[in-house]
Amino acid sequence: MSCVAIEEKTLRQRRFSEWLLAAVVALLAAALPARAELVVGRDYVAIVPEQTTDNPAKIEVIEFFSYACPHCSELHPTLSKWSSALPADVVLKRVPITFGRQQWAPLARLFYTLEATGDLARLDNAVFDTLHRKGGKLFDDKSVIEWATAQGIDGKKFTETYNSFGVVSKVKRADQMAQAYRIQGVPALAVDGKYLVTGKELKDFNALLALTDQVIAKARRERSKK
């Protein structure tokens, strides 16, 4: 057989191999669900029963979290950037929960106290930094109050707010919400009182928030049909 014949045979074999590979890839692609198409169980689960949100005019995204949670600390910078660019019809609500853990309760009260005193935007990151990068311990009332005072907050004002009926009630309500939404771990993102984002196959927080955008779009489409 001549060199030309051998080359032609080799070329035919190569083309057949390439065609076969393309066919296999196409079959696999058809068999697997596209990420663009949301899949119940993989990407989200329905919240049963649906929960009432604070502002029915907007699509509410709730982040259930705790300052004590290292994954919540890792998510926080990405979530903050994402939330700053949300569409006008979407609002982010952060809900600190305790899962009944005694050490997490002061941190939930700290969040609502900072929110009430107007210091949350200034000190939100600092709480995470203290706990997860500086080795601080904010797991009891005394430590929390001392830390807040060291950050320049009036100690008397902070203590009164921290121990107020309003703050204590919000912490209790947050844990009730976590039970109603069937939250089993944090961080957790819920959309419009209807869907809990799961993202079981995702590897990073950017992908999680991109998936959340898709669930938001789903909720928006459903609202438009009403």
Model pLDDT, residue 15 = 58
- Confidence class for position 93, pLDDT limits 50, 70, 90: very high
Q: Write out pLDDT tens, residues 16-61.
A: 555 444 443 334 334 434 456 899 999 999 999 999 999 999 999 9
Q: Provide the residue ranges of all domains of the chain, joining segments of one domain with +.
A: 1-32, 44-224
Q: Is pLDDT at 3 greater than 80 in this prediction?
A: no
pLDDT of the residue at 17: 55
Is the pLDDT assigned to residue 98 strictly greater than 90? yes
pLDDT for res 226 = 75
Between 9 and 213, residue with greater pLDDT: 213
Q: Looking up tokens 């979530």, which residue turns up?
A: 79
| Cα-based angle 173, 73, 115 (whole degrees, multiple of 5) | 45
pTM of the model: 0.83
Which pLDDT score, from 0 to 100, does residue 2 have?
Answer: 32
CA distance 18 to 32: 21
- Residues 143-193 have pLDDT tens digits of 999 999 999 999 999 999 999 999 999 999 999 999 999 999 999 999 999
pLDDT band at 83 (very low <50, low <70, confident <90, very high): very high
Whether domain 44-224 has CATH 3.40.30.10: the reply is: yes
Quick one: pLDDT band at residue 65, thresholds 50, 70, 90?
very high
Percent with pLDDT over 90 in the chain: 81
